[in-house]
Chain A
Amino acid sequence: MTDSDSDKLLRDEIVLLRAQNRRYRELIQSLSSTTEVLRAHLKDTQPRPPELRAFERFGQGQRPTVELATGSPGKKESIHPTGQSPEQETKEGLKSLVPTPGWKCLAVDQPQIRIGFLLFGMTPENVEEAVEAVEQRQVRSRDFSPVFVTDISDLAPFRDRGYVVEYVPPSITLNGKRNRAHRDDLRTRLEFIEAKWGLDNLVDLGRSPQTSET
């Protein structure tokens, strides 16, 4: 047997081991799965019973209501280089938090890459689609953990998939006055979120970036 044949055999062996490893991971995931994991995998395979969604608007108008204005903080370069260690610390000495990777990748080793996905100025339907697309990508690659950042208050798309989400409220009116500082504060908020979760990169999936408003 030549060195070349030996190398080829070794490469084949590695490919085989990788495939086996992947299969074992899937088996472990299934065996250790909670109801949520199974449900995530079985989603949409059953007929849905009727849902009585009534009374959604109860309470409105009983207190001074905040004025909402959706928008996006705009695209932004990451403040961290790609591939930073998850154990990074902020300059204040705080250790970044480790996000749960989502139901479908619960049994996967903690991915080294953490990506923040910005979902500003999107409709709930678009948010649902975006989160689902990220989930599909994650299930295929199994090499990253997402942290979502959104300005919609319905967190069901993230909860249903076991993802971490950070909420940045749209600019608001408190006590009858538009709080402009709040919008100016968006960049600070994003930096906070990046440091908190040790994000390696930010991906803006928002549709209509707006960095200013009148």
Chain B
Amino acid sequence: MTAQSASRARSTARLLFVSSNGVGMGHLSRLLAVARRLPDSYEAVFLTMSQALSVIAQFGFHAEYVPSQQHTRSDMTSWNAWLRRKLDQVLDTYEIQAVVFDGNIVYSGLREAVSSRRNCQLLWIRRGMWRSDQDNSQSLLSRENVDLIIEPGDVASDFDSGASAEQRQGVVFVDPIRLLDPNEVLPRDEACRTLDLDPDACNVLIQLGAGNNYNFVDLIGSTIKTLGKSKITRPVIAEWITSDIGLDLWPRIPRLRCFPISRYYRAFDFTISAAGYNSFNEIIGFGVPSLLAPNLNRAMDDQSARAAFADLHGAAVHLDHEMLQIFDQVLGAMMDKERRQAMKDKCQLIAKPNGAERAAQIVVDTISQVEIT
């Protein structure tokens, strides 16, 4: 029985969502955002390299896990060969009709497994904003055998100068993909009550990423020291559930360890944040005043461009080298309620709608076209 005939027999189509193991949660979050917006006649199964496996179960999806190459002392070729075998098993077991992948490079094991099947599609959700000083030739070449590339938009896409911005043939664009819609973000009172925070205090969320490839401990330390001078501020450190390191160096500062953190954004008066895809587009989309400290690791996306874009539009402050020299003053300025409100207003001007629904529709349309033919 082919995957399609099996699918017809069970009246639903089953899709496999594959995420690579990023530094944070970006790849997996986008896939979850799309999967949870599929029509009921489509069933999503996940194969992830992210150790945030429990998050997938939390959203009610079935998940398989495959350790990424970083967990081995073997070369990429050997790892890909085993990935191919694992995928063969998964595609057979779950009678998969299409694979939706989110990652920076489409693994050869994935491409080979899908392309060896007549009726299985491969779609790539490929985030933009690649750094212009990166060699992304392998990533660009990995589109071979990919049936469709969906590029999730970015609030700062006008500042995208990376390699993917120049190769847009056969790429479908959607608005920024966010996991939550605005109505899913808790009101301030409820969010504060859940987190046991005082709604009348100035609550500050420090979310500088998973810390797996960038040292931000100094910045957190400076922030806490400065905020400690004010009696009305209450800093909270967001700790990524995939983080290799625990941020338990400040015993009196509570850590927020949950997913998705954006659910609680309204509990916070402002945030000091990295500028990864999800955090940035959520901060702007949900109108959270922010100081943006880009992760400058060369392997990352162009977080500086995002921060600079928001800064240019008055929607955030880009904590670049110069601003870090006067960090105390910058942080002090954020205590001003009117200044924060102005930032919120500017966020609204540059925010874009959530593209997750549209991405889900594109996935469905692409599969439907194959079913018809």
* A interface residues, Cβ below 8 angstroms from B: 35-36, 39, 46-66, 94-95, 97-100, 110, 153-156, 158-159, 164-167, 169, 172, 174-175, 181-182, 185, 192, 196
Name, among B65, B94, B260, the residue most crowded by chain A CB atoms within 10 Å (CB to CB). Answer: B65
Let me know if B245 and A52 touch, CB within 8 A.
no
Name, among B71, B79, B242, B264, the residue most crowded by chain A CB atoms within 10 Å (CB to CB). Answer: B71
Let me know if A97 and B12 touch, CB within 8 A.
no
Binds A, one of B51-59, B293-301, B338-346, B350-358: B51-59
Let me know if B73 and A54 touch, CB within 8 A.
no
- Given contact pairs A36-B245, A56-B58, a sample of 7 additional A-B residue pairs in the complex whose CB atoms are under 8 Å apart: A36-B244, A49-B248, A55-B259, A56-B258, A63-B61, A153-B56, A175-B10
- The yes or no answer to B67 lying at the interface (CB within 8 A) is yes
State in angstroms the CA–CA spacing of A191 and B45 once bound together. 23
Q: A36-B245, A52-B236, A63-B36 are in contact. Are A164 and B71 (CB under 8 A)?
A: yes
Let me know if A159 and B51 touch, CB within 8 A.
yes
Name, among A95, A98, A174, the residue most crowded by chain B CB atoms within 10 Å (CB to CB). Answer: A174
* B interface residues, Cβ below 8 angstroms from A: 10, 12, 14, 32, 35-36, 40, 43-45, 51, 53-54, 56-65, 67, 71-74, 78-79, 81-82, 85-86, 89, 93-94, 194-196, 236, 239, 241-242, 244-246, 248-260, 263-264
Q: Provide the main secondary structure of the chain A interface.
A: loop
Contact of A50 among B35, B65, B254 (CB under 8 A): B254
Contacts of A174 in B (CB 8 A): 14, 43, 45, 62, 94
Let me know if A60 and B58 touch, CB within 8 A.
yes
State in angstroms the CA–CA spacing of A50 and B244 once bound together. 19
Chain A nearest CB from B44 CB (Å) reads 7
State in angstroms the CA–CA spacing of A54 and B261 once bound together. 10
The 10 A-B pairs at the shortest CB distance, nearest first, are namely A59-B59, A167-B65, A98-B73, A65-B60, A153-B54, A63-B60, A97-B74, A66-B62, A50-B254, A153-B53
Let me know if B73 and A99 touch, CB within 8 A.
yes
State in angstroms the CA–CA spacing of A110 and B195 once bound together. 45
> Which partner residue on chain B sits nearest A63 by CB separation?
B60
State in angstroms the CA–CA spacing of A59 and B241 once bound together. 16
Contact of B72 among A47, A58, A61, A99 (CB under 8 A): A99
Chain A nearest CB from B4 CB (Å) reads 15
State in angstroms the CA–CA spacing of A153 and B63 once bound together. 9
Name, among A55, A65, A155, A185, the residue most crowded by chain B CB atoms within 10 Å (CB to CB). Answer: A55
Contacts of B249 in A (CB 8 A): 46
